[in-house]
Amino acid sequence: MSKKKKSKNKASKVKGIDHNGISQRIMSLLNNNFGKSFSIKQITKKIEVRDAGSKAAVPHILFDLVDADKITRGSDGGFTSAQKSSNIIGKVDFVNPRFAYVIPEDGTEDILVKSENMGQALDEDTVAVQVYPSRNKMGRLEGRVVEIVHRFRTEFVGRIEISPRYAFVVPDFKKMHVDIFIRPEDIHQAQHGDKVIVTLKHWTDRDKNPTGVVERVLGKSGEHNAEIHSIMAEFGLPFEFEQEVSDFADHIPDAITKEEISKRRDFREVTTFTVDPEDAKDFDDALSIKPLPKGGYEIGIHIADVTHYVRGQNVLEKEAYNRATSVYLVDRTIPMLPERLSNFLCSLRPHEDKLTFSAVFEMDENGDVLNEWFGRTIIHSDRRFTYEEGQEAIDTQSGDFYKELTILDTLAKKLRKRRFESGAINFETVEVKFKLDEKGTPLGIIPKVRKDIHKMIEEFMLLANKRVAEFIFNKEKGKHTFVYRTHDRPDPEKLSTFSTFAKRFGHDLKIEDERVSKSLNKLMADIDGKPEQNVLEQLAIRSMAKAKYTTETNMHFGLAFKHYTHFTSPIRRYPDMMVHRLLQHYLDGGKPVDKEDFEAKCLHSSEREKRAADAERASIKYKQVEYMAISEKRPYDGIISGVTEWGLYIEITETKCEGMVRISDIEDDYYSYDEKNYRLVGQRSQRVYTLGDKVTVIVKNTDINRRTIDLEFANPDGDTKKVPARGRRRN
């Protein structure tokens, strides 16, 4: 075996030179910058060696470390750490301009990556990370990106700023922390201050910023349509259907043949109606009711039979799968299906024969299900009710079908009571809608009021979803592949944090496993109509696990159902289409289908659902910012809804808008962030600001582009002059 060739450059032990100290500093530098290469000159400078003797010793010490296999020398002459590391594949969560986390695909611990070690990786990219052999000072795994496995997005939306020789696009996306360079020839028709869609073209290691090309001009920044279009583009939402998709939908026959009717159970002679929002155009569910000769009722929950029209792997099916859900922005709906299907063929419009997929129950006066049937049907709706019309019929005991509506309402209340007794959680979140003028300017914010008629429809939809899931599960004790809607138990740590927060308002939440549902329901009832209602409801929801689509037969914690699915909205949700197909397949005696294929579709649907929810929130936030920008400049009461190291989030009680009081704007003291207790503490005054504190604020600034509201504390007497903020002294 040949001996390893040793370097002739042995570092002589010159008196007065700290060889061990220099060696340790070199090792620390290279290990803490794992994977980076440094020249002798760079190392000498970075370890701050100043005297001539020590500088002369550095090269010899480096070669000694190479000979000892503690560091390596590359072909470029640079030196790197020789410690071994591993590469992990994961997805980027670019938290702020300073650092990101890479979330490993295998579910192991997140990896901290400083921005200078991110390379050209962006938020949600899939990357390979080289993990450092040792943890950082905070005990976290740390690493650097060595490869971008998959670029998640190449299109961004932002405001273009044009100079004589170049331009930059400032992205709207908050997790995109660099501006995009645009060459003059790639600006196209954009004008300074326009909102544009830009595509990344290249980004080399030498460039600080990526280079892009303007693909589409959305309009002037701040204008309603430009801002809504920018939200759509930011979240990758489609602006329209491709022509071939629309053409395919337009050529679907609308006639219902006698042969098709003969295959279905006929409900056309049974009293049937729809109940929907006033501005709804797609009616995907209807209720029928018929008294039974021996008492009780036959209740039909009839759902648009979308899969009768959307079949096979044609362009319409592919488009529905890709979109996976309809998206509801403040001023428009982005439908999953073309208008010909969603508003005409599949919409259960009154006085028209319609093809449906139904869950039919024989129920007694107590709301107990005595018998059930699932299958394809045909209906003829007798009446289209708005929620307001349906509620008025029940309240006044007059008008069309008021007796039938009243019976359904009575049954629904019994179902609801029984559900809560079984442990379902009564989340009644406060939702808002905007009164807009013809230009889209918000004239007012209107809370959505949920009345008994809303709860009645919801209860029968829940019943259908639950019984369909149970029917499939019970056929072969869960062996049949199916699409379920599941909701895990809440994380104990998050629940404990929420319990602590609720106590600040005087509410005691029991978080023991067997008592949490009942205690949460009591809390929801106690806060109804109180100023803290919206904040506590939102925080309670955040403490819960996220519901998802899956083929796993897990429970739905929030509804207290052992098995649950989504069967009732196939016009706007792709998972419901999957459920219809699978249900018919098993009704026909079909064998279990491929589980992996449907699990992948479930994951895709869950991701699309999250995208839709994020876009909807962004559009609401945009209108809230615009509304506060034009609202009266006066003090507003608010509640501290979040505490961070850079400031306090405040929810304005009157408008439900959330803004921030930045620490830099609290001038009466220097405040430090107490992360453990979710509070800011004044170093001199010991004044404390914490979650749940009631405050009075004024609007300092609004930024439509970033969709932010900057607030500052106001004098409690109403004087808007900046004064020391209100807070509590720490005991």
b/e map 112-123, b = 16+ CB within 10 Å: bbeeebbbbbbb
Q: Would you place residue 64 in the very low, low, confident or very high pLDDT band (cuts 50, 70, 90)?
A: confident
Q: Which residue has the higher pLDDT, 297 or 721?
A: 297
pLDDT at residue 542, rounded to an integer: 79
| pLDDT for 14 beyond 70 | no
Q: Is residue 486 exposed (0-12), middle (13-18) or buried (19+ Cβ within 10 Å)?
A: buried
CATH 1.10.10.10 domain extents, the chain: 19-81
Longest dimension (CA), the chain: 110
Domain 631-729 has CATH 2.40.50.140: yes
pLDDT at residue 37, rounded to an integer: 83
pLDDT digits (tens, 9 = 90+) for 139-170: 788 888 988 999 999 999 999 999 988 999 99
If one looks up domain 86-150 in CATH, what number appears? 2.40.50.140
Name residues whose C-beta falls within 8 Å of residue 80's C-beta, 6 or more positions apart in sequence. Answer: 30, 34, 35, 36, 37, 38, 71, 72, 74
First vs last C-alpha separation in the chain: 74
pLDDT digits (tens, 9 = 90+) for 612-640: 999 999 999 999 999 999 988 899 999 99
pLDDT at residue 728, rounded to an integer: 44
Span 518-542, average pLDDT: 80
pLDDT at residue 715, rounded to an integer: 66
Query: What is the helix (H) or strand (E) element at residue 529, kind and residue range?
Result: none
Q: Would you place residue 13 in the very low, low, confident or very high pLDDT band (cuts 50, 70, 90)?
A: low
Q: Would you place residue 372 in the very low, low, confident or very high pLDDT band (cuts 50, 70, 90)?
A: very high
Three-state SS across 397-446?
Answer: CCCCCHHHHHHHHHHHHHHHHHHHHCCCCCCCCCCEEEEECCCCCEEEEE
Distances (CA, A) of 418 to 181, 213, 415, 425: 60, 59, 5, 12
pLDDT at residue 513, rounded to an integer: 61
Q: Is residue 523 exposed (0-12), middle (13-18) or buried (19+ Cβ within 10 Å)?
A: buried
pLDDT at residue 408, rounded to an integer: 98
Query: Lowest mean pLDDT: which of 198-212, 488-502, 548-562, 649-663?
Result: 488-502
Cα–chain center distance at 569: 20
Can you spell out the DSSP letters for 363-410? E-TT--EEEEEEEEEEEE--EEEEHHHHHHHHHHT-STTHHHHHHHHH
Span 682-704, average pLDDT: 90
Q: Would you place residue 722 in the very low, low, confident or very high pLDDT band (cuts 50, 70, 90)?
A: very low
Q: Would you place residue 514 in the very low, low, confident or very high pLDDT band (cuts 50, 70, 90)?
A: low
pLDDT digits (tens, 9 = 90+) for 572-587: 999 999 999 999 999 9
Span 458-485, average pLDDT: 94
Average pLDDT over the chain, rounded to an integer: 88
Residues 370 and 203: their CA atoms lie apart, in Å, by 66
Provide the residue type at 658 as one letter: E
**Nearest CA to 596 among 551, 638, 660?**
551
**Total-model pTM:** 0.82
Residues 664 and 710: their CA atoms lie apart, in Å, by 12
Span 690-699, average pLDDT: 89
pLDDT digits (tens, 9 = 90+) for 211-232: 999 999 999 988 999 999 999 9
Domain 155-221 has CATH 2.40.50.700: yes
Q: Are the CB atoms for 149 and 193 separated by under 8 Å?
A: no
| pLDDT for 730 beyond 70 | no
pLDDT at residue 592, rounded to an integer: 92
Q: Which residue has the higher pLDDT, 408 or 13?
A: 408
Give the rounded percent of residues in the chain with a pLDDT score beyond 90.
58
Span 100-107, average pLDDT: 90
Q: Is residue 372 exposed (0-12), middle (13-18) or buried (19+ Cβ within 10 Å)?
A: middle
Q: Would you place residue 654 in the very low, low, confident or very high pLDDT band (cuts 50, 70, 90)?
A: confident
Span 173-196, average pLDDT: 93
**Which phi and psi angles does 509 have, rounded to 5°?**
-105, 120
pLDDT at residue 501, rounded to an integer: 78
Residues 616 and 625: their CA atoms lie apart, in Å, by 14
Q: Which residue has the higher pLDDT, 704 or 413?
A: 413
Span 660-671, average pLDDT: 90
pLDDT at residue 15, rounded to an integer: 58
Pairing label, strands 708-713, 728-729:
unpaired
Residues 139 and 546: their CA atoms lie apart, in Å, by 29
- The alpha-helical segments, DSSP class H, found in 175-305 are 224-234, 243-250, 258-262
Residues 707 and 625: their CA atoms lie apart, in Å, by 6
Torsion of the alpha carbons at 722, 646, 624 and 329, rounded to the nearest 10: 180
Q: Are the CB atoms for 61 and 13 separated by under 8 Å?
A: no
pLDDT at residue 4, rounded to an integer: 44
pLDDT digits (tens, 9 = 90+) for 382-415: 999 999 999 999 999 999 999 999 999 999 999 9
If one looks up domain 19-81 in CATH, what number appears? 1.10.10.10
Within 10 A of 182 (CB to CB), how many other CB atoms are there?
A: 25
CATH 2.40.50.140 domain extents, the chain: 86-150, 631-729
Span 110-122, average pLDDT: 92
Span 113-125, average pLDDT: 92
Q: Which two tokens stand for residue 408?
A: 């359904």
Span 501-519, average pLDDT: 78
**Long-range contacts, 440-445 (Cβ 8 Å, 24+):** 440/224, 440/225, 440/228, 440/331, 441/224, 441/626, 441/630, 442/623, 442/626, 442/627, 442/630, 444/627, 445/624, 445/627, 445/655, 445/656, 445/657
- Rank 20-29, 80-89, 482-491, 565-574 by mean pLDDT and report only the highest: 565-574
Q: Would you place residue 540 in the very low, low, confident or very high pLDDT band (cuts 50, 70, 90)?
A: confident
